[in-house]
Structures are given as C-alpha cells and as structure tokens.
C-alpha cells in the first residue's frame, strides 16, 4: 500500500482537495500544521494516480509531494491514529471500535458528566471528509453546543456537510429537521451512512453554493473556506437567525464577518485555534 501526500499552503487547501476528490472519491485524509495543510490518498503499488492536475491547482502554494510505502499491517494499525475527540466536555466524537463508556472516561478523566448531557457521535475515519479531529470541526461543534443552550434548537442546514459530523452532532443536540448540502456525491453517500449509523434523520442534497443560495433555515452551520463563505453571504435569500461558520484562516476572519454583516448579521462568538478561526453570528 502506498500513501501519496500533497502538502500545500492553507489558502490553497480547497482547490487541492477538490482535485484530489476527483482522483479518490472514497475519501481523503487531512492533516494540518503551522502554515500548511496536507491531504493524502492511499492505493496499491502501481495504482496511485498521477497528480499533474493537483500540482497545477496548487501552483506556487505547493509545499511538497511525498510518497511512502505503508507496512503490511497498516490495515490494522491505522486505527491507532484515530482517537476519540471530546468537545465542550459534552460531545464525544469516536470511531466505532471505541466503546462509548470506556472512551468517555478516557477522554474526560475525572469528570462525571450527567448521562443525559452526553452526546455520543460515532464516525468512522476513511468514509470521507472529516472525523471531528480538525480544529474547524471542533470549533463548530463547540459553538453548536452554545447555540443549543442559548435557545430552543430548531431546523438547521449544514453547508458543506462532508461526513455529516456537524449535522449529526446538531441532531443529537436537539436541532431538527436537518438538511445537509455538499458538492460531492461521495460526501453525500458518506453522510447518509454516518447519519444512519447514528440513528439520525438527515435530508441530503447536492448543491453548488457558489452558484445558488443557501436554503432558508433558522440556523446554519457552514464549515467552508473563506471565499465560499463570502459567496454564501452574498446569496442569502433570507439570513438565518443564527449562523456558525468556520473553515477560514484567522487572517480571513474580518473579511468573512464583514460579508455577513452586509447580509444583516453581526458577530456574536469568536473562536481561534492555531491558524484557524470560527465565528458565530446572529441576525
């Protein structure tokens, strides 16, 4: 098994990911660090695709392309790298092979959360586009927890739903009905499978948010890149009462906030983790 990785500047991440998804519609692994985002795909020796289009898309923002051979026991060992993620001491996002009670105790040692307050989201890595480990996902979930506590949850739209993790967490926090939108069919299929595994009812629709308005809903969560968030703000037919957005770099925060202010919203909560930012807005 060969791991083929493309590391690029964060501002090019959306473009690189779009090209990689064409080559590997079943899912792309993502990691990030200071000033870089890395996407990786896996394939048998001799079957790893050519990255010409990906390298062209990255242009001057390309940091490096690497290939490495994965040990024969990778199919078993890869699970060791995917640990549960606890958000806001309440929402636990875990792979299916981690038992919930033991996982909760390990993720939150010494904390005795009330059983009724615990939110358990089961999400297996490798399906597609997001396991909850990325800072932008964690910050969105944290803001969702705050929004659910602030007012009775209602209908919610998840823009760029990917694996469906945010919509699933929202459903378990009491939001509903829910709709998830994505440009990629593979993402919609992964979101449907994950929603079913969690017992969540989620309407899914393929949509291009650069060309059509977001659905009208009281609450919207949008884990997208800054340019698409600006497009979303410009196309609102009716702004939501509450919006949570992330996927943007900290240096892009004011640009995105200004775009939504132009649509009649104001920043209410702001979070930052490393290079990444998330904003909660209200109408």
Dihedral of CA 137/140/146/151: which sign? negative
Give the containing element (helix H, strand E) for 163: none
Given this model, what pLDDT does residue 78 score?
54
Q: For 4-26, what is each residue's pLDDT tens digit?
A: 889 999 888 878 887 787 676 55
Q: What is the mean pLDDT of the chain?
A: 84
Q: For 51-60, what is each residue's pLDDT tens digit?
A: 887 888 788 8
Nearest C-alpha neighbor of 5 from the set 73, 62, 84, 47: 62
Given this model, what pLDDT does residue 2 score?
79
Confidence bin at 277 (pLDDT 50/70/90):
very high
In angstroms, the CA 133 to CA 234 distance is: 30
Comparing 41-45, 129-133, 271-275, the range with the smallest average pLDDT is: 129-133
Higher local confidence (pLDDT), 2 or 173? 173
Cα–Cα distances in Å, from 37 out to 15, 62, 155, 203, 247?
12, 10, 33, 30, 12
In angstroms, the CA 133 to CA 130 distance is: 7
Given this model, what pLDDT does residue 27 score?
62
Given this model, what pLDDT does residue 127 score?
46
Confidence bin at 109 (pLDDT 50/70/90):
low
pLDDT surpassing 80 at residue 71: no
Comparing 35-44, 160-169, 225-234, 242-251, the range with the smallest average pLDDT is: 35-44
Burial class (CB in 10 A: 0-12, 13-18, 19+), 60: exposed
Given this model, what pLDDT does residue 4 score?
86
Q: For 119-157, what is each residue's pLDDT tens digit?
A: 889 887 554 455 667 788 899 999 999 999 988 889 999
pLDDT surpassing 70 at residue 174: yes
Given this model, what pLDDT does residue 75 score?
53
Domains observed in the chain: 2-78 (3.30.70), 82-282 (3.40.50.150)
In angstroms, the CA 203 to CA 109 distance is: 36
Across the strands, what pairs with 33? Answer: 36
pLDDT surpassing 60 at residue 81: no
In angstroms, the CA 39 to CA 28 distance is: 6
Nearest C-alpha neighbor of 62 from the set 5, 17, 6: 6
* Cβ partners under 8 Å of residue 14, min gap 6: 225, 227, 228
CB 63 within 8 A of CB 8: yes
In angstroms, the CA 74 to CA 82 distance is: 13
Higher local confidence (pLDDT), 117 or 205? 205
* Cβ partners under 8 Å of residue 156, min gap 6: 167, 170, 175, 176, 178, 179, 217, 218, 219, 220, 221
For range 251-271, the mean pLDDT: 95
Backbone angles phi and psi of 145, in degrees to 5:
-60, -45
pTM of the model: 0.75
For range 40-63, the mean pLDDT: 79
Cα 55 to chain center, whole Å? 24
Token pair for 144: 């969702």
Confidence bin at 106 (pLDDT 50/70/90):
low
């Amino acid at each position: 098994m060969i791991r083929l990785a493309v590391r690029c500047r964060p501002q090019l991440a959306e473009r690189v990911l779009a090209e990689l998804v064409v080559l590997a519609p079943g899912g792309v692994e993502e990691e990030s660090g200071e000033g870089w985002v890395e996407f990786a795909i896996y394939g048998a020796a001799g079957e790893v695709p050519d990255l010409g289009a990906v390298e062209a898309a990255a242009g001057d923002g390309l940091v490096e392309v690497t290939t490495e051979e994965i040990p024969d026991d990778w199919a078993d060992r890869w699970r060791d790298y995917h640990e549960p993620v606890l958000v806001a001491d309440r929402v636990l996002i875990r792979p299916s092979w981690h038992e919930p009670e033991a996982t909760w105790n390990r993720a939150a040692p010494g904390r005795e959360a009330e059983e009724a307050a615990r939110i358990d989201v089961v999400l297996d890595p490798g399906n597609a586009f997001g396991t909850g480990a990325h800072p932008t996902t964690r910050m969105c979930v944290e803001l969702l927890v705050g929004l659910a506590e602030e007012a009775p949850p209602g209908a919610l739209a998840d823009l760029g739903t990917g694996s469906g993790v945010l919509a699933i967490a929202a459903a378990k926090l009491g939001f509903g009905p829910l709709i998830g939108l994505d440009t990629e069919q593979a993402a919609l299929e992964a979101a449907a499978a994950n929603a079913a595994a969690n017992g969540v009812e989620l309407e899914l629709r393929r949509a291009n948010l650069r060309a059509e308005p977001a659905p009208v809903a009281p609450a919207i969560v949008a884990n997208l890149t800054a340019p698409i968030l600006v497009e979303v703000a410009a196309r609102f037919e009716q702004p939501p009462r509450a919006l949570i957005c992330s996927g943007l770099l900290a240096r892009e925060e004011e640009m995105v906030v200004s775009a939504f202010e132009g649509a009649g919203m104001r920043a209410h909560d702001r979070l930052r983790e490393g290079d990444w930012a998330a904003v909660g807005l209200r109408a």
